[in-house]
Chain A
Amino acid sequence: MSGFTISRRTMLTGSAMLLATTAMPTLGWAQTPKKGGRLVLAADSEPRNLNPAIVASNGVFFISSKIVETLAEASFDGKDGLAPRLALSWEGAADGLSATFKLRDGVKWHDGKPFTSADVAFSALQIWKPLQNLGRTVFKDLSAVDTPDDLTAVFKFAKPTPFQLIRNALPALSSVVPKHIYEVGKIEDNPANNAPIGTGPFKFGEYKAGQYYRLTKNTDYWGKDEPYLDEIIYQVLPDRTSAAAALEAEEIQLAAFSAVPLADLDRISKVPGLKVITKGYEGLTYQLVVEINHRRKELADVKVRQAIAHAIDKDFVVKTVFLGYAATATGPVPKNDPQFYTADVPTYAFDVAKANALLDEAGYRKGADGNRFSLKLLPAPYFNETKQFGDYLRQALAAVGIDAQLVNNDSAAHIKAVYTDHAFDLAVGPPVFRGDPAISTTILVQSGIPDGVPFSNQGGYKNDALDALITKASETLDTSARTDLYKEFQRQVAADLPLINVAEWSFISVASDKVGNIANNPRWAVSNWADTYLAG
Chain B
Amino acid sequence: MTRALTLIRRRLVGSIFVLFIVIIGTFLLLEAAPGDAVDAYIVSTGGDAGMIELLRHRWGLDQSELTRLANYLWALLHLDLGQSVTFSRPIREVILERLPTTLILMVSATALSFGLGSALGIYAGARPGSFRDRFLSVASLALYAVPGFWLGLVLIVIFAVDLRWLPIGGIETLASDKTGLDRAADIAIHLILPVSALGFIYLALYLRMMRAGMAEAWRQDFVLAARARGLSRRRIVLAHVARNALLPLVTMLGLQSAQMLGGSVVIESVFAVPGLGRLAQEAVAARDTPLLLGIILTSAVLVILINLLVDIAYAFLDPRVGASEAGA
Contacts and interface: CB of A to CB of B under 8 A. Distances in A.
A210 B278 contact: yes
B272 interface: yes
A202 B317 CA distance: 60
Interface stretch (A71-79, A133-141, A359-367): A133-141
Given A136-B48, A416-B35, A242 B274 contact: no
Interface stretch (A14-22, A150-158, A404-412, A480-488): A404-412
Interface in A29-73: 40, 45, 47-49, 55-59
A27 to B, nearest CB: 25
B210 to A, nearest CB: 33
A413 B35 contact: yes
Contact of A211 (B46, B164, B171, B285): B171
B278 A238 contact: yes
Interface stretch (A109-117, A285-293, A298-306, A449-457): A449-457
A414 B37 CA distance: 13
Interface string A245-288: 11011010000000000000000000000000000000000000
Nearest to B33: A413
Contacts of B87: 48, 209
Determine the main DSSP class of B at the interface with A.
loop
A57 B51 CA distance: 15
Nearest to B94: A209
Interface string B144-175: 00000100010011001100100111110011
B270 interface: yes
Nearest to B40: A412
B285 A412 contact: yes
Interface in B107-155: 149, 153
B62 interface: no
B272 A235 contact: yes
Contacts of B40: 411-412, 415
B174 A246 contact: no
Contacts of A416: 34-36, 39
Contacts of B272: 210-211, 235-239, 242
Contacts of A189: 88
A214 B175 contact: yes
B156 A251 contact: no
B174 A188 contact: no
A452 B36 CA distance: 12
Interface of A: 40, 45, 47-49, 55-59, 131, 133-134, 136-137, 188-189, 194, 205-206, 208-212, 214, 231, 233, 235-239, 241-242, 245-246, 248-249, 251, 382, 409-417, 420-421, 440, 449-450, 452-455
12 contacts: A194-B88, A211-B170, A211-B174, A211-B272, A211-B274, A235-B174, A236-B274, A238-B269, A411-B35, A412-B43, A413-B34, A415-B39
